[in-house]
A and B are shown apart, each in its own frame.
Chain A
Amino acid sequence: MSPTELDQMLSTCVLFLDMTETERAEIIPLLEVKTFEEGTPLVLEGPPDQTLWIVLKGRCQVAKRRKAGGEKELAVLLPLDVVGEMSFFHAAPHSANVRALEPVTACRLSHNQYALLQERGSCAANKLVANTVRILSERLRRMDDWAADFMERAAAPEHHEEWRDFRAKLYSGWKF
């Protein structure tokens, strides 16, 4: 993939939102493009690795190990989706596995490269951070909705059902 093709593609990626062509040009040379066979991992749950990934082609599965064994799929990444942003800014073990569901092309930005950019006082580095916050905020918002929905579905129907059942029994066939 040529730098021009890469630039053209990344110009629509949320990570590069509001960046000028010049600013993108500061970052793109630092990216390393890699290809993955179906089933091979981009990111492994556990080991810390401060790398930011952008899917360019193909689909990837994000899955988390279950305590009881096996894995639970959390999401499927499509081209221009970003992954690894949590570990990129907070050096902690990766929270999930990311595997190629089919032949995948992705590019990566290492934290060391980003640090060099930041040391130069690059405006692009600051916008990269701002856009990552945007991605995390959107994810947190979805997580809040999901948690609220989960709690409602997990608790309320059971309560309502038992309450309705109790009421029904008390008001059917009995004279108190």
Chain B
Amino acid sequence: MKGLMQNNLAMMVLFSIVVLSAPIWANPIGANYPDLLQKFAIFGIFAIGYNLLFGLTGYLSFGHATFLGVGSYTAVWSFKLLSMNIIPAILLAIIVSGIFALIIGFLSLRRSGIYFSILTLAFAQMAYSLAYSVLTPITNGETGLQLTQQDPRYLDVLAGVVVEDGLPSTNLFGMLMKANGGYSGFYFAALILILSFYISLKIFRSPFGLKLKAIKSNQTRMKYTGFNTKPYLLTAFVISGMYAGLAGGLLASIDPLAGAERMQWTASGEVVLMTILGGSGTLVGPLLGAGVIKYFENIFSALNQAELIEVFSFMPEFLQNILVFICTPFVGEGWHLTLGAIFMLVVIFLPGGIIEGLQRVSGYIRRLVGFDKEQVNKESKEERA
């Protein structure tokens, strides 16, 4: 299994199968809604991109939601001005957020550690406040940017696309994103996710990725060996900003709206949570984290007290009452409470996230099954190396 995971092709095939079969395996756990599956894919991309910065270099950015928001706004503007086709929208989203990331990254990366976090946070807050106030002509302020019937859509007009009554829908060369009950949108997002994952895999296993890891473990030493770390950090920052822009563009492609709340710093916090929860610095960890958070958000926030009573109905009544009483604050509106609690527990007891948890469990099982102790030790040493 270990050797298999080292092989890029095998890993990609496995990954693609898992992602594309999501509607099948998501069914038994009650997550087979196109809406939710799309969210898995999109926030997976966001987290993978964030991980390229935080996981590899250890630079904790608190402003990545800015790029997500910029991507969304760009995509919606592309729908308004150019075409309802999502390809130009997504490309533009990536480019524009990349430019933003270049500027913000260039300035923020002049400092490191907590100063870097505060700088990115300051830029993010500036973008958020401006989107709400002065930039209202571009962002449409609190209402959020929406499509209207009067939008020019020059490319569509050139191509002779006729818009019927009502608002047009986003499409991929004629294939509507909301066709097949939204599964088209999901499969498109899934394909992009597979592509993004492949790029991230390549980066992880390239000399460039190794340099980033070296910066994380000891930047001073890197500098003493005469190595200029700045360009590498900036590249990582821009790439992860582009990933965020891509995610924002996809969000807008599936639902052509963009609002400033996507840029709030709590949104940046969320992607940090996803990355940490899954396991920062690992390949699939952030994806797992994004999936888990979005899944539980969906499940927990939909529950209410009546349903809780049903869930625990197989128990004796007095136990049921106690459990319902304990669980009520954690579901529905109180979902964030659960999130905060999970998050704290993970950071305190499992700093490596879910991936570390799985590794520990599998190591434990191997020892139980009777693997030679030396072999386990050897393997864990290899892992660390």
The finding on whether chains A and B are genuine partners in a shared complex, rather than unrelated, reads no
